[in-house]
DNA sequence: GTTTTTTACTTGCATATTGAAAGTAATTAT
DNA sequence: ATAATTACTTTCAATATGCAAGTAAAAAAC
């Protein structure tokens, strides 16, 4: 897959060149909340991503070093997707987006354990997720 | 313009339903860095947005309460776009995205006054921008 | 006060992306 | 051996993007 074209040298613009769409960050979200997922897991998320888009985004995210694909232990068909360090580094941005949505969009589910925990303490949530992801890394990677 | 369809009640997903594209947050960025802009100003940004996309995004952002269009003082053709409180509230997310880009994308311009200032102190930058925007609000709005 | 320019869009059209549905190929389970 | 899973790929219609050109109103220049 061809390298992502950058429209300028602005860090915001270049970030959006990579994940500025309606799906990429949802994949990152799922990996943040579940540590690792299979292809099928992603299709089961509430937003119902089409499989062609999913395949495309997984490839793009992998190309851009945000996720890593590993073999699923004991199964040659399945793959396991995880966040790379670069992907984990996206979590602060994801948290701020979630908080903005929670504050400003009425349809959002305020009772989610995720949002609750983040609101209680951003730093603690961050630390917890990072520890989880790191633990996973030492187990599998 | 019809209301934005939400794919789920997830705050991240719903946020992306509003600004999950390659252009919307660049408009917010320009308003964050310059307080207010005219239509023509936006077309002059480095990323060279097409005018049909610009018109569409300004409308969407206005529909979603993120920006506000005001008459340009002393000119009946021009309009002035500003961030609404909901738009100002997006700045923390924008900062995290910028920081991620700065850390993880090689082409990004590290010497920008914006990124420099944010890195020195996120809170101070936030306060400064918010004060600027508030000042503008009392002058014009 | 008439022409010229500026400003903020709109329109037309080719190309690219998205999304729904169905198809495929390699396992894995029965 | 047969059926079911899993991870994609393909097809195709609908929508979005991007470039270029057009328009209408107001402002500036002459």
pLDDT in tens, A94-130: 999 999 999 999 988 877 888 899 999 999 998 988 8
CB contact under 8 Å between B12 and A112, yes or no, is no
Domains of chain B, each with CATH number or no CATH: 11-140 (1.10.10.10)
Quote the mean pLDDT of chain B: 91
Distance between CA atoms of residues A107 and A39, nearest Å: 28
Specify which residues A23 forms β-bridges with: none
Residues A87-102: pLDDT tens digits? 999 999 999 999 999 9
What are the strands of the beta sheet with B36-37, ordered from one edge?
B36-37, B75-83, B67-72
Q: How many Å from the CA of B7 to C1' of C12?
A: 32
Residues B61-120: pLDDT tens digits? 999 999 999 999 999 999 999 999 999 999 999 999 999 999 999 988 878 888 899 999
Q: Map residue A44 onto helix, strand or coil.
A: coil
pLDDT at B35 over 90: no
Q: Does B14 touch chain A (CB under 8 A)?
A: yes
Q: What does the DSSP assignment read for B26-74?
A: HHHHHHHHHSEE-HHHHHTSTT---HHHHHHHHHHHHHTTSEEEEEETT
CB contact under 8 Å between B97 and A13, yes or no, is no
Set of chain B residues whose Cβ sits within 8 Å of the Cβ of A90: 100
Q: Taking the CA atoms of B56, B59, B65 and B67 in sequence, report the sign of the dihedral they define.
A: positive
Question: Taking CA atoms, what residue in A is nearest to B15?
Answer: A101
Distance between CA atoms of residues B74 and B124, nearest Å: 34
Q: Are A36 and A81 in contact (CB under 8 A)?
A: yes
A49-B13-A6 Cα angle (round to 5): 80
CA nearest neighbour of A22 among B7, B82, B69, B97: B7
B140-B55-B33 Cα angle (round to 5): 50
Per-residue confidence (pLDDT) for residue B36, from 0 to 100: 82
């Amino acid at each position: 897959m061809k390298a992502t074209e950058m429209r300028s040298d602005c860090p915001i613009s270049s970030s959006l060149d990579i994940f500025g769409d309606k799906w990429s960050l949802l994949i990152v979200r799922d990996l943040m909340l579940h540590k690792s997922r299979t292809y099928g897991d992603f299709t089961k998320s509430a937003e119902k991503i089409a499989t062609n888009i999913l395949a495309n985004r997984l490839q793009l995210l992998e190309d851009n070093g945000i996720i890593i694909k590993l073999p699923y232990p004991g199964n040659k068909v399945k793959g396991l997707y995880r966040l790379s360090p670069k992907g984990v580094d996206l979590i602060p941005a994801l948290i701020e987006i979630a908080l903005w949505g929670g504050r400003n969009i009425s349809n959002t589910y305020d009772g989610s354990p995720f949002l609750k925990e983040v609101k209680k303490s951003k730093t603690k949530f961050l630390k917890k997720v990072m520890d989880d992801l790191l633990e996973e890394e030492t187990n599998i990677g």
